[in-house]
Structure 1
Amino acid sequence: MALSRKQKLFLKKVISLFSVVRGHNIPVIILAQYLSAIFILAPEKRAIAILLDFNLFLLVFASAITIASGYIINNFYDSQKDLINRPNKSMLDRLVSQATKLKVYFTLNFIAALLALCASWQAFLFFSAYIFLIWFYSHKIKKYPVVGNLTAAMMAILPFFALLLHYYNSITFEEIESYKGHFAVIFAHACFLFLLLLIREMIKDLENLKGDLANNYQTIPIRFGEQMSKKIITILTIATIVPVYVLIDIYDVGYMDIYFYVCFIILIFFLLYLWKSHQKAEYLLLHNVLKFLIVAGVFCIVLINPSVLWNGRKLLLMM
């Protein structure tokens, strides 16, 4: 049955809004939070107990909605820049008016804050601050070198701190000593992810150089040159060795050490290709390599203790 003109227009706008909120990223974010909770943040708890934790569900859902709204406000402020850097995607995104985007943005933020409040007042304060930070980043911070990159990378891992707050807000001062090793593992994972995200943000600056220059964005390659940007990326890439060493040689991450070894090999070729790159298409390839490593890292979390999945499956079959 053929669709009417109005139905086709509506479908196009739904696809456009899906593109604006980067809907393909949301399931990955949700999966990353749940796997992090099961294997990293609360490994002592049974997987089924974590999956059935309603407050955790509220926090994960609030995180996903907040990130989706963040993509909207970022798209709103970057509309002119994206016309140059991503003309095809920009034309698709423009099928939804700026007014509609803002309405959806405020609606999603209201829902996220309400969900957080249902979980706890601490979560409400956390997500209120997170929503404000995303707006302030999109409005002001992202136009400045270094601080813009650092803020973008930090915002990407902040939702995991909401889960950390959920699991550890009731720990007493006397119990902190017994959790030191666990916190070290969490911190090392967070550092590795933060470095990958920061490298990706700097690659994006090289990739979007033309649009940033036209819209007066003072990024590192514009302010200090491409060579300096590549040197900083090289230093950050080498710095990933530190958290990887902590996770592999000091603490037990199970079979996930395979992921870190593969990452190390890929990052060596990444650096070699980086110094040969000068075109947008080459930087885009490097950007996609980093996205692959980050997404692969999400799925490889299960390698920390694969038996959890089997035990969880047996438990579900028994219910």
Structure 2
Amino acid sequence: MNFLNLIRWKNLCMIALAQLLIKYALLEPLGVNTSLNVLGIIILIMATTCIAAAGNIINDLYDIDTDTINKPHKLIINKFLSEQAAFNGFIIFNLLGVGLGFYVSHLVGKSAFFSVFVVSSALLYVYASYLKRLFLIGNIVISILVALSILIVGIFDLLPAVTPENQHIQLSVFKTILYYAVFAFVLNLIREIIKDMEDVDGDNKTGMHTLPIVIGFSWTRIIVFVLMLMTTISLSMYTINSLYRNPVASGYFLCFVIGPLLYSSIILINAKTKKDFNHLSHLLKLVMLFGMLSLLLYKYILL
């Protein structure tokens, strides 16, 4: 169980669920041309989650000192698992992820797509070892990689099947996947900044240059509030303009995405303790999950 917590198994399950929803709740029911069969999508999911697992391990390896201060009760490395064992796990998961990525790239006849896995693996290592210490750069990079874990289904399943005859519908559906990827990017960016606010004590002592350390808590709170407000307004406008004729889809977005975002914004105003920011972080993860589950309502959303 400790090893499963080290690789963040719940986050890996969310990645797998999002990719399965894109494949079987969006692409398959629409009847668009795709490149991946059941085995292919399983291999793509395994490749993505293996690289994400490796990233989680190397992140914890470089965060030992910080986590000792921020969350000593959640420490796994040097408590239940040696650094060498964790590093071995990092190497194994990376090799598996890149190897499976190489296979699935050739499976769809696009060997150049293999670079997606290599670049992702490299970025996760550079993020853990260096980028996360920089002002905002680390937050943006990890949020791009989260968005890529969603977009990658479109890259491998839709794009290789594009022909002059079907390119309009293929690219239209790809645009829908892109919207979900942007949603994931923005929410994850907000969540990463909130986690920096939660971990400010340990980050400050270990030389991090996160947003709350560089510009202060008050300004960071304002920036996060504005980002939340802009996201809420954008989703509200989308609901009003595109879903007003579909009460099921409209009600879902209002109750499970827009409502929780508004609630999170209110909590943020008065948040002061680590517990408050941790609660916010979990709320935003739920909003992201419910956002992805809205793919089950594709027949309403795409009208």
Q: Are 2:137 and 1:143 equivalent residues in the alignment? A: no
Partner residue, 1:25: 11
| 2:190 partner letter | I
| 2:283 partner letter | V
Equivalent-residue separation in structure 2 for 1:59 and 1:212 (angstroms): 35
Q: Are 2:247 and 1:257 equivalent residues in the alignment? A: no
The number of residue pairs the alignment matches comes to 290
Q: Are 2:118 and 1:128 equivalent residues in the alignment? A: yes
Residue pair 1:196, 1:290 contacting (<8 A) in 2 also: yes
Equivalent-residue separation in structure 2 for 1:191 and 1:85 (angstroms): 30
Q: Are 2:173 and 1:186 equivalent residues in the alignment? A: no
Identical counterparts, % of pairs: 25
**Cα separation, partners in 2 of 1:124 and 1:180, compared to 1, 3 Å:** closer
One of 184, 192, 198 as aligned partner of 1:201: 192
| 2:254 partner letter | Y
Partner residue, 2:108: none
Partner residue, 2:275: 281
One of 281, 289, 292 as aligned partner of 2:286: 292
Deviations 1:175-212, CA, capped at 9 Å, x for gaps: 54444543442232222222111111111011011111
**Cα separation, partners in 2 of 1:195 and 1:298, compared to 1, 3 Å:** same
Partner residue, 1:245: 237
Deviations 1:270-289, CA, capped at 9 Å, x for gaps: 11221111111111111111
Residue pair 1:253, 1:304 contacting (<8 A) in 2 also: no
Q: Give the deviation of 1:62 after TM superposition.
A: 0.5
Equivalent-residue separation in structure 1 for 2:170 and 2:113 (angstroms): 22
| 2:217 partner letter | E
**Cα separation, partners in 2 of 1:185 and 1:297, compared to 1, 3 Å:** same
Partner residue, 1:313: none
Residue pair 2:67, 2:202 contacting (<8 A) in 1 also: yes
SS in 1 for 2:272: coil
Tell me whether 283-292 or 204-213 shows the greater mean CA deviation.
283-292
Equivalent-residue separation in structure 2 for 1:252 and 1:59 (angstroms): 36
Residue pair 1:185, 1:251 contacting (<8 A) in 2 also: no
Equivalent-residue separation in structure 1 for 2:230 and 2:187 (angstroms): 10
- In the superposition, the TM-score normalised over structure 2's length comes to 0.86
Larger radius of gyration: 1
**Cα separation, partners in 2 of 1:180 and 1:108, compared to 1, 3 Å:** closer
Partner residue, 1:164: 154
**Cα separation, partners in 2 of 1:291 and 1:56, compared to 1, 3 Å:** same
Q: Give the deviation of 1:74 after TM superposition.
A: 0.5
Partner residue, 2:210: 219
One of 83, 89, 94 as aligned partner of 1:98: 83
Equivalent-residue separation in structure 2 for 1:51 and 1:179 (angstroms): 14
- Structure 2: gaps of 5 or more residues: 106-110
- Structure 1: gaps of 5 or more residues: 1-14, 307-319
Partner residue, 2:222: 231
| 1:205 partner letter | D
Residue pair 1:207, 1:280 contacting (<8 A) in 2 also: yes
Deviations 1:219-245, CA, capped at 9 Å, x for gaps: 000000111111111121122132553
Q: Give the deviation of 1:248 after TM superposition.
A: 5.8
**Cα separation, partners in 2 of 1:244 and 1:58, compared to 1, 3 Å:** farther
Equivalent-residue separation in structure 2 for 1:252 and 1:56 (angstroms): 34
Partner residue, 1:317: none
